[in-house]
Amino acid sequence: MRKLIIPLVAILIVVTLMSVFVIPEGERGIVIRFGRVLKDTNEVSKIYPPGLHIKMPFFDSVKTLDARIQTMDGRSDRFVTSEKKDVIIDTYVKWKISDFGQYYLATGGGNSLTAETLLERKVTDVLRSEIGSREIKEIVSGPRSDIVAVDTIQDTDAIPVSAKEALEVDGERDQIMENVLDNTRDSAMKDLGVEVVDFRMKKINLPDEISESIYRRMRAERESVARKHRSQGREKAEVIRAQAELEVATVIAEADKTARVTRGDADAKAAAIYSKAYKQEPEFYSFLRSLKAYEKSFSNKSDLLVLDPNSDFFKYMNDSRGKKPTN
């Protein structure tokens, strides 16, 4: 009897252990019986919350599924706008399991990679439709209330044409994300049993060949603005230089006028003094003038004058009184 009790106890322990299961925190469990998800009386998949639970040994198997919000960081994909231009958009999706039974069946046993592949396909299809009905400037711009209005910018010539167009367009980037979220949420819940919590476009790029073309256009626009500013600067410089030259010429003319007047007054005064002195002593004045003439004439030793000794030029050399010699 004792020999039978030990195996029975062991079998009971094994059966008990096989009859209980634990669902970790942050996860949910479903029970698979004969290949089907166990449902409650309302024909709804029975979900086991975190904790200790009981199942039928040997016939039931437990599948635990992550109930937390998960992030699907999608790969960058190329889309075509209504202008037939390509854009490369990088997105991400926040999602979580809502219908665990539907999720288990749709993903072939609760495979998260399969779920993200199917969800990414749905998101890409909806996003491709939204991008295909809009232009690039509508895609990259947000609402006009989120950007600076053109009217508040004083120097609008300094803004590139592409930037002006973006400012003048009421962008629909937020509307695109909202539409993708709404349209994907219903189909994802119906087909996969997951709830799409959020969708965002992280980055919008242009292909290299288009980016280079836009950069060349922007560079040409900036160079045009720079040339305009340089031309205006040169024009202002010429005006300032002309004004400065006019002021200099005016100052010099005024100074020359003042100098001429002063010099004329001085010459007049000197002439008056000479005239007065000449009237007082004409002979002395004549003698002084002759001495100055001698000084200038014989300033260089090599100077040679051929004159008549009886000429008036030598009258003070021949006689200090200025009388001419008699023959």
- Tens of pLDDT, residues 133-165: 988 888 887 665 544 443 443 444 444 444 444
Question: Which of 135, 139, 146, 144 is closest to 180 using CA atoms?
Answer: 139
Residue 295's Cβ-count burial label (10 Å; 0-12, 13-18, 19+) is: exposed
Angle, in degrees to the nearest 10, between helices 161-168 and 208-280: 120
Q: Which residues of the chain have pLDDT under 70?
A: 1-2, 142-171, 210-211, 294, 297-327
pLDDT for 129 equals 92
186/195 Cα distance (integer angstroms): 8
* Model confidence pLDDT, tens digit, residues 222-268: 999 999 999 999 999 999 999 999 999 999 999 999 999 999 999 99
Question: Which of 220, 187, 212, 184 is closest to 92 using CA atoms?
Answer: 184
Inter-residue long-range contacts of 256-261, CB under 8 Å, 24+ positions, other chains counted? none
pLDDT for 235 equals 93
Beta bridge partners of 195: 96
126/196 Cα distance (integer angstroms): 13
| All residues at 6 or more sequence positions from 318 whose CB lies less than 8 Å from its CB, including other chains | 309, 324, 325
Question: Which of 235, 242, 244, 196 is closest to 91 using CA atoms?
Answer: 196
pLDDT for 310 equals 64
pLDDT for 318 equals 60
pLDDT for 259 equals 94
Give the global pTM: 0.55
pLDDT for 140 equals 80
For tokens 């509508």, name the residue.
138
pLDDT for 159 equals 43
